[in-house]
Amino acid sequence: MPAKILLCLDADPQPSVFDAVVAIDAGADHLLRHGGVTPADVQGLVHGAMFTRGPKELAHTAIFIGGSDITAAEALFREVPKAFFGPIRNSVLLDPNGANTTAAAAVLTAGKHVTWNGATAAIIGTGPVGRRVAKLLAAEGVDVRLASRSPAKAAKVGAEIDANLVSGWSSGHSELAKLLDGVQSVFAAGPAGVEVLPMEVLAAACSSAVGPQVAIDLNAAPPVGIGGVGSFDKGVLLHGCACYGALAVGGLKMKLHKRAIQELFTRNDALLDAAEVYALGKELVS
């Protein structure tokens, strides 16, 4: 059987070591790692991966797009299919900075406690992970509420979501209290090292009969995003709310990252973005 080759495209000067280790642990035999990749470079690199193997062997070569620059990675991802010729193609996974696998793992974790269709969720933070959590929840029929230090960012995310959007701004406790009023789940996806939700605000919301049932903190760097939630907390009940720290969610994220890499080598026509990664996650936890 041909070796499993993963072409790793990264806009950063140095390709991600983290992504390389996960790919090896997921079963890739060889990594072709390229840093500093621009959209203009994509076609030549992809053609090199495609044209060296026959049609029956194309599923043994796949493409991973990672790195720390989400916008740059998305630009590379858009270029890859343009290099394909009909059935002559390779499967592709987009997961820059772990944004897709982290968002999917967060929603799957919260879904253990909440029935999504018709539910309301609050997301604090409109960075890459927060945006993806919002889109995944909206696709599940959830009424999404956003809190952000940047109203413009929140408005942009809201415009991208095919669902009713209620915006709240995290400028103070009263605004956060309004944001959490009547929600079943809350996700803290703010910047690293910033507490975006004090425990006293979450506790007050949980005292309501319709308060949050689950809270997911996606910030492992101290101070964590939700005050009083430990990074390793896994469903710890605080004020009646099941709370998860970033590293607890990270366990599922890692399993999903590896599962997505393995999926690439089962076929040659997969394009795995956030929604597709989430679908794989549903299979993983079912």
Phi and psi based region of residue 240 (left: phi greater than 0; alpha: psi -120 to 50; beta: remaining): left
Alpha helix (H) ranges present in 56-126? Answer: 70-79, 99-110
Sequence ranges of the chain with CATH classification 3.40.50.10280? 5-98+253-285
- CATH class for the domain made up of 5-98+253-285: alpha beta
Provide φ and ψ at 199, rounded to 5°: -60, -35
For residue 60, how many other CB atoms are within 10 A of its CB?
17
Query: Of 101, 78, 81, 84, which Cα lies nearest the Cα of 26?
Result: 101
Single out the residue of 90, 87, 13, 12 nearest to residue 45, CA to CA. Answer: 90
Evaluate if pTM is beyond 0.85.
yes
The reported pLDDT for the residue numbered 171 is: 55
- Class in CATH terms, 102-249: alpha beta
Give the residue range(s) of CATH 3.40.50.720 domains in the chain.
102-249
The pLDDT, as a whole number, for residue 260 is 98
Helices (H), the chain: 17-25, 39-50, 70-79, 99-110, 128-139, 151-160, 173-180, 199-206, 246-264, 274-285
Q: Measured between alpha carbons, how far apart are the two ends of the chain, in Å?
A: 31
Task: With cut-offs at 50, 70 and 90, classify the pLDDT of residue 167.
Answer: low
pLDDT tens-digit readout, 40-93:
999 999 999 999 999 899 999 999 999 999 999 999 999 999 999 999 999 999
Tokens of 166: 């209620």
Length of the chain: 286
Q: Is 181 exposed, middle or buried (0-12, 13-18, 19+ CB in 10 A)?
A: middle
The pLDDT value recorded for residue 40 is 98
- Whether cis (ω within 30° of 0) applies to the bond prior to 15 is no
| Average pLDDT of the residues of the chain | 92
pLDDT at 162 over 90: no
Q: Tell me: the pLDDT tens digits for 262-277? A: 999 999 999 999 999 9
Phi, psi of 267 (to 5 degrees): -160, 175
- Report the alpha-carbon distance of residue 51 to residue 114 in Å, rounded: 47
